[in-house]
Structures are given as C-alpha cells and as structure tokens.
Amino acid sequence: MNYVRTGILMAGLTALFGVAGYLLGGASGLLIALGVAAAMNFYSYWNSDRSALAAHDAQEVDEASAPELVRMVRELAGRAGMPMPRVYLIHEDQPNAFATGRNPENAAVAVTTGILRTLSYEELAGVVAHELAHIKNYDTLTMTVTATMAGAISTLASFGTFFGSREQRPNILVTILVAIVAPLAAMVIQMAISRSREYEADKLGGEIVGNPVWLADALAKIAGGAAAIPNEAAEAKPATAHMFIINPLSGRGMDSLFSTHPDTGSRIAALMRQAAEMGVAPATSGFAAEAARGPWG
C-alpha cells in the first residue's frame, strides 16, 4: 500500500509541476518547466550523495578507523542481500543517521558521533538496518527526485512573471496564486512521500536486523536526543531534514501535514506490533553477545 501511495503522490507532484508551468506560460511554459526539471534531476541524480554528505561534513571511515561500525554495516548489508555501502561519520552531538545515494551500488550510510554515544550495539544495528532498507527500497533516489521536483516548482513559481511575451504573460492574480499555492502543495506532497517511506523502512529494517524492538528503542532515544540537542548543520540546511531517521530540526513528533517524519510514537507502536507478529523478544539475535559490551562511546 505504501508503494502505491508513493507512486500516486509522485504522479501528483509531476502533474502539479506541469500545471504550474502551463498556467504561467501555456505550452511554452510547460516545456520550460520540463526542461528545468530534467536539468535539476540530472544534476541531483549524480551529485545528491556528495552534496548531502558535504552539507554535514561527513567523514568516510573504514575498518581501521571505525572497525565495529563498519563490520556491523557489512554484516547487515549481507543479511539484506545488498552491496556494502560506504560508511561515514558525522561529528555531531545530536544522535541521528541517514542514508544517501542513487542506487544500492552507489550508496552511503552516515551516523553521528552522538548516536554512537547514545545507543547500545543492538539499537544501533536497528538504525543501520533502517537506513539499509531505505537504500534497498531506492528511497534515497525517490526522495532526491521529490525534493528536486519540489524545489523546481518553487523556482518555477518565483520566476512566473518572466514567462511568455509581454502580451502573453499570465494574469497577475494567476501568477500570485501559483507562486503561493504551488510551492505549498509541492511541500505537502514531498512530506507525505517522506512519511510513507519511513514506515516502510522501519518494517524492512526490523526484518533485516531480526528484532524490531531494537529499532523501536533506538527511535525513542534518538527522538529524545533530537529534542534536547540542536543540529546546527541541519538548521543551516533544512532541505536535508527529511533524510534523517528522526527530524533533526525539532523534537516534536507530530504526524501533521507539514511534518517530514511520522509521529515517533506511531512508528514505535508499528514496530512493536511487528515484533509480536515475528514472535521475537528484545535479545534473540546474534547481536546479543556484541550488545553485552554496552553503549558505544
């Protein structure tokens, strides 16, 4: 159902883009809109991972610099039947994580130093599994495209007065209406897609790690940390907020129209139901021995 919903929402975003272009410039406006979208998507397709990682000053690590983390990612990627992604560390006190990349062969998982200090081994495994689920489901590409389309719609609406000749330019009221409504509608659709994909990544992440309770516990801790500890890099570049496992801009867990993430309580409840269906307890996987070593730090 989430995949169907995502497809419908992306179709709506594309239709909105075309309508905005047509209202502002007729057939020529539609062509210009499509050209802008194609150029922006081409750029973001090849550069979205580098841009996101650079925005948060993420540093790539390997088995020499972060052996336990890299080994964890490798093991979970093997469980998920996918290529080993690159692993990055963000020197940020707020506990959080995200994945990026256009496909599983060109992907990266980034975690903050704050999350290593906050979570147990098992809980961190749940978070990594969630991020790998995003990669396996191509959510990283989906969210890049939707973010780019939303940005293109806003750009298109901002320059609406320049469409067409002086005689063919749209009515000023139409231009103002498009400039206000189109970006707002695009943002709502983008956030709805993001929320839909989070639930699906939680579910698959719980399957990959073998115990959804670990991810549920991690979400509760991360949400508390995000509410108490500001993330200055995310505040400076709020367009990246939807990438994180928990919204880095606010600790409010509201499943509202403008939220980039689902309500954390709703996500935890869904994971606990999944755990009950799987018949698992908090410590039934091979990660239990590693978890006995305590929190990361």
Residue 26: inside a domain, yes or no?
no
pLDDT of residue 1: 45
Contact partners, residue 213, CB within 8 Å, separation at least 6: 271, 272, 275, 280, 281, 282
What sign does the dihedral 85-89-95-101 (CA atoms) show? negative
pLDDT tens-digit series, residues 181-195: 666 666 666 666 677
Residue 270: inside a domain, yes or no?
yes
Question: Max CA-CA distance within the chain?
Answer: 74
pLDDT of residue 141: 78
Residue 281: inside a domain, yes or no?
yes
Q: 197: domain range?
A: 48-148+183-291
Closest Cα to residue 281, out of 223, 236, 225, 216? 216
Strand partners, 89: 59, 111
Domain CATH number, residue 135 = 3.30.2010.10
Establish whether 131 is a catalytic residue.
Answer: yes
Calculate the average pLDDT of the chain.
Answer: 79
Which comes out higher in pLDDT, residue 156 or 27?
27
pLDDT of residue 249: 84
Residue 158: inside a domain, yes or no?
no
From 92, 122, 131, 198, the catalytic residue: 131
Residue 2: inside a domain, yes or no?
no
pLDDT band for 148, please (50, 70, 90 cuts): low
Transcribe 105-150 into DSSP letters.
TEEEEEEEHHHHHHS-HHHHHHHHHHHHHHHHTTHHHHHHHHHHHH
Contact partners, residue 166, CB within 8 Å, separation at least 6: none
pLDDT tens-digit series, residues 51-110: 788 889 999 999 999 999 999 999 999 999 999 999 999 999 999 999 998 889 999 999
Q: How many domains does the chain have?
A: 1
pLDDT tens-digit series, residues 269-283: 999 999 999 998 655
Q: Looking at residues 137-143, what average pLDDT do you find?
A: 82
Residue 285: inside a domain, yes or no?
yes
Residue 37: inside a domain, yes or no?
no
Residue 17: inside a domain, yes or no?
no
